[in-house]
Amino acid sequence: NAPRLVAGLLVRWVLPRMAERHPDVTVDIVVEGRLIDIVSSGFDAGVRLLGSVPKDMIAVPLARPLRFICVASPAYLDRF
Q: Express each pLDDT in 45-70 by its tens digit.
A: 888 776 677 788 888 877 777 777 88
- CA 37/CA 54 separation, integer angstroms: 9
Domain boundaries, the chain: 2-79
Q: What is the pTM of this model?
A: 0.57
pLDDT of 50: 65
- CA 80/CA 76 separation, integer angstroms: 6
Q: How many CA atoms lie within 13 A of 79 on its CB side?
A: 5
Read off the pLDDT band of 31 (50, 70, 90). confident
